[in-house]
Amino acid sequence: MNTSFKKIQGGVTAPNGFTATGVHCGIKKEKLDFAIVYSQEQAVAAGVYTTNAVQAAPILVTKKNMKENKMARAFVINAGNANACTGEKGYQDAEKMVALAAEKLGCAKDEIIVSSTGVIGVSLPMDAVEQGIEQASVNLSKEGSCKAAEAIMTTDTYSKEIAIEFELGGKLVKIGAMSKGSGMIHPNMATMLGFITTDADIDAFALEEAIKDATGNSFNMITVDGDTSTNDMVAIMANGTANNEKVTLDSLEYAKFYEALEYICVEMAKQIARDGEGATKLLEVEVKNAKTKEDAKKAAMAVVKSSLVKTAIFGEDANWGRIICAVGYSGAKFNPEKVDISIGDEPMAIDGTGLAFDEDRAKEILKEDHIKVFVNFKDGDQKATAWGCDLSYDYVKINGSYRT
């Protein structure tokens, strides 16, 4: 982390001008299930969405709104029901969700970014949704970030949020975020939602490029189980209340803003991977000295999504052969006779050939809850990192009874 970034409390409400809350409206039996994050000032907005051909109604509505208007005032999110594969009624329900929220928040309909997560193929209970909008809109507060982060969870075991502050153009700027995701995690993106707020003043084009690139190096570099959802979204609002000189793509401050945003996205992505359904360990794979960035990305993702690698990590078995096997089918271009592999600080192979490594030391490394794997192609200067988790018995238990 750049030492000029300071971690702070507050999540999505840490930046100036943002409030939030989470409430229980009845979509779920007991837990919080509806959240609103609101900007008191109109904000520049951008988003990145699932590439699944089957896209949920809120994705379609948000994409339409964002195409017509690059400004936003609120994230409006429900959990417990994905409003996906629900036909024309589902689309109308998403539109109604937007209209109700806009009315309560006093803004235009195309300033609402709407999102849903949960079970696919079931119509939204609109009476509950209306109640959620009513309750949330009157309970927004600067202290509401934690409740909002909790309200967007599905099978997550903990809520995920972060905030940082840093200097930008002589002004103190803050970025906050919350996300959800635990299973059906795989690019592009995953069963994950990410919502980011900032008080930075940045133009729409620069913000769009920044969130697209940051997502490519973070949320699109994680995997839990190889499934890509119908509802995936990462969205950002920037309300400009920090009063820094406006950031543009060609301004000197763009690189610093981007570095901070990418840090936020990577930290959120790592939290999602660590909280994979049934997971006991975070798996981090770095591929370095590749000929191209794309080669490094392909190889790193192949390793973290390999079921054989994931089960070996769960079983604390230093089976490095599974790692080089995954690299081999990744589609990355490399010379197998030049590859070095290590788990933690224990070398496993040099120049594609296995070493007589210290089994006891390897076992100790694999007992940790954060396992790092390093693959060195020795063929260039490009690198990439991917994150995933182990694959445990509990993953099957959780997904064998998801609807119940």
Residues with active-site annotation: 191
For residues 177 and 173, give the distance between their C-alpha atoms in angstroms, rounded to a whole number.
Answer: 14
∠ CA 117-121-124, nearest 5°, is 60
Radius of gyration of the chain (CA): 21
For residues 169 and 226, give the distance between their C-alpha atoms in angstroms, rounded to a whole number.
Answer: 41
For residues 403 and 191, give the distance between their C-alpha atoms in angstroms, rounded to a whole number.
Answer: 15
Contact status, residue 338 vs residue 380, Cβ threshold 8 Å: no
Local structure of residue 222 (DSSP, 8 states): B
Residue-level length of the chain: 404
Nearest to 319, CA basis, from 377, 390, 213: 390
Q: Is residue 193 within a helix (H) or strand (E), and if so which, with residue range?
A: strand 192-198
Contact status, residue 15 vs residue 166, Cβ threshold 8 Å: no
Q: Is residue 286 within a helix (H) or strand (E), and if so which, with residue range?
A: strand 282-290
**Cα separations in angstroms, 222 against 32, 173, 344, 355, 385:** 26, 28, 19, 29, 9
> Is omega for the bond preceding 335 within 30 degrees of 0, making it cis?
no
Nearest to 79, CA basis, from 23, 127, 121, 134: 23
Structure token digits, residue 186: 């795989």
Contact status, residue 399 vs residue 304, Cβ threshold 8 Å: no
Structure token digits, residue 167: 């200097």
